[in-house]
Amino acid sequence: MTQIPEVEPGDTVKIGTTPAIVCTVRAPGDIEVVYLDTRKHAISEDAVWDDTAWRFKIAGADAGKYADKTPRLKDYVAQLREAEPKPSNVRPTRFR
């Protein structure tokens, strides 16, 4: 059994390949996170430590809730969106 990582609100964790921001720590190994889905919607969902990695507590597409509509999560959603990689196809502005 591996040690449960210590996390606190505002920390970044990976759930599979998905980066997520911790917004609530309920107990060691039991957290609430926000992440961006494939449509770039901010989603809040519960996650747990499974002895090797973080995973969503409930598997399936409908387990999370829209975090954009939850006022207590707005700062974490802002942090998540600020950390999102910018498109690489944007060309720099050239001045003459």
Token digits of residue 31: 């957290």
CB 43 within 8 A of CB 34: yes
8 Å CB contact between 67 and 73: yes
- Residue 85 above 60 pLDDT? yes
pLDDT tens string 24-81 = 999 999 999 999 998 999 999 999 999 999 999 987 666 788 998 899 999 999 999 9
Query: Distance between CA 44 and CA 63 in Å, rounded?
Result: 9
Which of 35, 39, 24, 30 lies closest to 64 in space, CA to CA? 35
